[in-house]
Amino acid sequence: MKSARARAARTLLLAVSLVLSPLVLGCQTKSQGDCEPSERVVDPVLLAFLSQARSAHHTADQREAQGDLGAAVTALERLTRAPRPPGEAPEVGEVLADTQARIADLLSRTGGFDEASQAVDLGLEHATVPSYFRGHLFEVRGLVEERREKALRDSARGPEADQARERSLAAYEEAMKIQAEVIQKASPPALR
């Protein structure tokens, strides 16, 4: 059930970023700000990247459904190493941050806690300002540390488990702080 909800959320986020971002649209002869709505065209390179990302996530979904988490990670890692569209389209960073979050989740489910933490760190390189994606990465960091804590407790390593719990709680707190900031910035000035 959680996997289906996660897939739906990823699909929605990719679709929303595609539809709403003015950087997906480009004017062929003028600067972006000078384009009239009738002159805008879809950036085919960015669309290709977004399609590639959706395909990578669909492949990962299928591998995950088969219980092959390693193959799911491999599909997602191929996307992170693939060529990227030129320019500064925010969708590219968002997709890569979201992909690293999913890689971290998958790795932590197989006990690869250090590798999962590294995936979160790589994702944070793409999500440097307060955004849903940055907050989500901290949420996943909390989950990674929560899973690490359980594994450490199961192996009777209490003090290390306590440290992992503290890292988990700190990451969840940071996630909530970031998401609150995102919500606050989106609120009308009268509600702030």
Q: What is the pLDDT of residues 76-119, one digit of tens each?
A: 999 999 999 998 889 999 999 999 999 999 999 999 999 999 99
Q: What is the pLDDT of residues 42-88, one digit of tens each?
A: 789 999 999 999 999 999 999 999 999 999 999 999 999 999 999 88
Backbone torsions φ then ψ of 70, nearest 5 degrees? -60, -45
CATH number of 2-191: 1.25.40.10
Distances (CA, A) of 154 to 45, 147, 150, 160, 188: 48, 11, 6, 11, 48
Q: What is the pLDDT of residue 188?
A: 78
pLDDT above 80 for 137: yes
**CA 9 – CA 58 distance, rounded (Å):** 13
69 within 8 A of 112, measured Cβ to Cβ:
no
pTM over 0.75: yes
pLDDT above 80 for 14: no
Tell me the domain boundaries of the chain: 2-191
Where does the pLDDT of residue 15 fall: very low under 50, low under 70, confident under 90, or very high at 90 and above?
Answer: very low
Mapped onto helix, strand or coil, the DSSP state of residue 184 is: helix
pLDDT above 60 for 19: no
DSSP 17-62: HHHH-TTSEEESSS-GGG--GGGEEE-HHHHHHHHHHHHHHHHHHH
